[in-house]
Amino acid sequence: MKIIIINGPNLNLLGKREPEVYGKESFEDYFNTLKTKYSTIELSYYQSNVEGKLIDKIQEAGFSYDGIILNSAAYTHTSIAIGDVVKAISTPVIEVHISNTFSRETFRHQSYISPNAKGVIVGFGLKSYELALQSFLLN
Ligand code: DQA
Which pLDDT does position 25 carry in this prediction? 93
26: three-class secondary structure by DSSP = coil
Known active-site residue 75? no
Tell me the CA–centroid distance for residue 77 and ligand 1, in Å: 9
pLDDT at 39 over 90: yes
Question: Edge to edge, what strands does the sheet with 119-122 contain?
Answer: 42-47, 2-7, 67-71, 93-97, 119-122
Q: In the chain, what are the domains?
A: 2-138 (3.40.50.9100)
Mean predicted lDDT score pLDDT of the chain:
97
Which pLDDT does position 127 carry in this prediction? 97
Could you tell me the pLDDT band of residue 100, with boundaries at 50, 70 and 90? very high
Check if 114 has its Cβ closer than 6 Å to any atom of ligand 1: no
pTM: 0.97
